[in-house]
Structure 1
């Protein structure tokens, strides 16, 4: 006997795969087939060192799976986003607190700072402002500017699934606290997402290498509304097929933070910026005091599913499970193997339709 840990969304997906495959009679057949074809994973990179917190926190919040939160961040303050359990991707959206029309522009950030902005880089806003609005000053997080947020479209088109956690709807609900509408949503900066070129040179999402305590620190260069959310994707490497909490802290900046922010700003605008202009019709952001969070597709309902497996198959599992990522959490390691196999299987069906 072996245990597979799934939430109800993942269980629904696997049953969809079983229904489409004439060779699979039930979930147990799927798990055993996935195990038989599993091979040992490649070694993961060593965990980076974690810098201890030294600032005074003015606000702290644990973002639970399937949720997000809007934070007001005055210029000079620091947003620190930290892994609690590890492996969790986070989407970050940013708006000017004094004019919602100005917001993070991931395309401009990618063009100015590269595919994977890190310490010493800045985040850029959209036209016609086009200026640095936050500076990354530290941390151990990987980042990505290439992949769009997951949405209802993605799960419907690729998996035939509906009504499940996704970044688009999580973000829409989190930003609603400040009167922002669904059409105010812009492309997110992907935090703790590990991407690399695939065999054909196109970017692919690799296993999430974030460990507990890994973090990213950003200084606000103007007054902003930062809206991070826990990525709702539990069917990919993005968060290693799980949904986990993260901690967000808004902290008072210290002099060293200001120096690092100025260095990042000066590095990004070596020859200066166009003259600043004012644009009439500003939309300042204010919190709705009557707001009550109502995130869709919750609660998630996890369950351990016992699977019959003979001793040879269990021995094989212990040979191929990813110890680097999951340690002694065999249920999570099995979930990775099974969902990876099932997604590849579903893709093969789609190619034959």
Structure 2
């Protein structure tokens, strides 16, 4: 099958032209200080703050387990992870040196991935790849539609409960990065999920480009080795495992010359202009 070039191309000096040596140094720099660590039990979620310039590591401490990650600007939750645009700019699956981008009108990198122990997974025989932006979180609404049953510990619900102490609600929970999850599209162009390849100690690590609020759910599907819907579905509780989070402060010397990215320079005219208190359309080219 022929390959076709990506729509969004990297030009030298553009916003997509990443300084890879800088981010490689962040991953390897000595002297990082562990400032927070915790474990998220099975079928739960937790939210936490991350100051700009810190590194977050999501770890599979006991073996394969999928986690659903949300990210917001800590000071303005209207700015949050934009999975669709990130798919276009970086890929439907992400790894080291990829960035997770924020929603309009902000459109800037929220985080940059600095390390990924599953980077070598590549593409499997089914076309599956790891760290998925292709799908989204499991939720009790689709579960009710498909099974007729209520279940309150889907990733959507776990994230809802996690962010309530930070003043956010269900309306703030958004499309996720599925950490450690392998997905793809089959020959019928339908989304598939397969068993998680993570082993004990595997991790995904990212650098906070701005002050963040993060939330992570330990998926109730566990390692996704058990069918969740359909005729063979069963409760996958026996393949559910915790996830761990570690937050590190970096030596300021390592960050010399770095600053948080500014929001997109477009200032939102949208082809309109103010005229005598009314908004009128601006002719093309005016």
Q: CA deviation at 1:131?
A: 0.8
Alignment counterpart, residue 148 of structure 1, candidates 136, 158, 173:
136
In the alignment, what sits opposite 1:178? 166
Provide the TM-score with structure 2 as the length reference.
0.69
Q: Secondary structure at the match of 2:46?
A: coil
Residues of 2 paired with 1:170 and 1:249: CA distance?
20
Provide the TM-score with structure 1 as the length reference.
0.56
In the alignment, what sits opposite 2:112? 135
In the alignment, what sits opposite 1:169? 157
Q: Does 1:94 align with 2:71?
A: yes
Q: Do 1:152 and 1:162's aligned partners in 2 also have CA atoms closer than 8 Å?
A: yes
Q: Which stretches in structure 1 are left out of the alignment for 5+ residues?
A: 1-50, 267-271, 279-353
Structure 1 residues 146-225: aligned runs within 5 Å: 146-225=134-213
Q: CA deviation at 1:202?
A: 3.3
Q: CA deviation at 1:77?
A: 0.1
Q: For 1:83-120, what per-residue CA distance to the aligned partner results, in whole angstroms no more than 9, with x for missing partners?
A: 01111000110110111111111111111111111110
Q: CA deviation at 1:276?
A: 6.6
Residues of 1 paired with 2:141 and 2:53: CA distance?
38
Residues of 1 paired with 2:227 and 2:203: CA distance?
15
Cα 1:238–1:137, aligned 2, differ >3 Å: closer, same or farther? Answer: farther
Q: Do 1:194 and 1:238's aligned partners in 2 also have CA atoms closer than 8 Å?
A: no
Larger Rg: 1
Q: For 1:43-83, what per-residue CA distance to the aligned partner results, in whole angstroms no more than 9, with x for missing partners?
A: xxxxxxxx999632100010001221111111110010000
Cα 1:221–1:192, aligned 2, differ >3 Å: closer, same or farther? Answer: same
Residues of 2 paired with 1:173 and 1:53: CA distance?
35
Alignment counterpart, residue 121 of structure 1, candidates 98, 102, 126:
98
Q: CA deviation at 1:184?
A: 1.1
Residues of 1 paired with 2:57 and 2:84: CA distance?
23
Matched length: 220
Residues of 2 paired with 1:253 and 1:105: CA distance?
26
Cα 1:225–1:114, aligned 2, differ >3 Å: closer, same or farther? Answer: same
Alignment counterpart, residue 243 of structure 1, candidates 240, 243, 248:
240
Residues of 1 paired with 2:194 and 2:61: CA distance?
20
Q: Do 2:51 and 2:208's aligned partners in 1 also have CA atoms closer than 8 Å?
A: yes
In the alignment, what sits opposite 1:58? 35
Cα 1:257–1:165, aligned 2, differ >3 Å: closer, same or farther? Answer: farther
Q: Do 2:69 and 2:217's aligned partners in 1 also have CA atoms closer than 8 Å?
A: yes
Q: CA deviation at 1:159?
A: 2.6
Q: For 1:285-342, what per-residue CA distance to the aligned partner results, in whole angstroms no more than 9, with x for missing partners?
A: xxxxxxxxxxxxxxxxxxxxxxxxxxxxxxxxxxxxxxxxxxxxxxxxxxxxxxxxxx
Residues of 1 paired with 2:41 and 2:158: CA distance?
11
Q: Which stretches in structure 2 are left out of the alignment for 5+ residues?
A: 1-26, 119-129, 229-235, 269-286
Residues of 1 paired with 2:169 and 2:159: CA distance?
10
Q: CA deviation at 1:182?
A: 1.0
More strand by share: 2
Residues of 1 paired with 2:202 and 2:244: CA distance?
11
In the alignment, what sits opposite 2:45? 68
Alignment counterpart, residue 217 of structure 2, candidates 229, 238, 252:
229
Alignment counterpart, residue 103 of structure 1, candidates 80, 87, 100:
80
Q: Does 1:84 align with 2:61?
A: yes
Q: What value does the CA root-mean-square deviation take over the aligned residues? A: 3.0
Q: CA deviation at 1:257?
A: 7.1
Q: Do 1:175 and 1:227's aligned partners in 2 also have CA atoms closer than 8 Å?
A: yes
Residues of 1 paired with 2:108 and 2:47: CA distance?
21
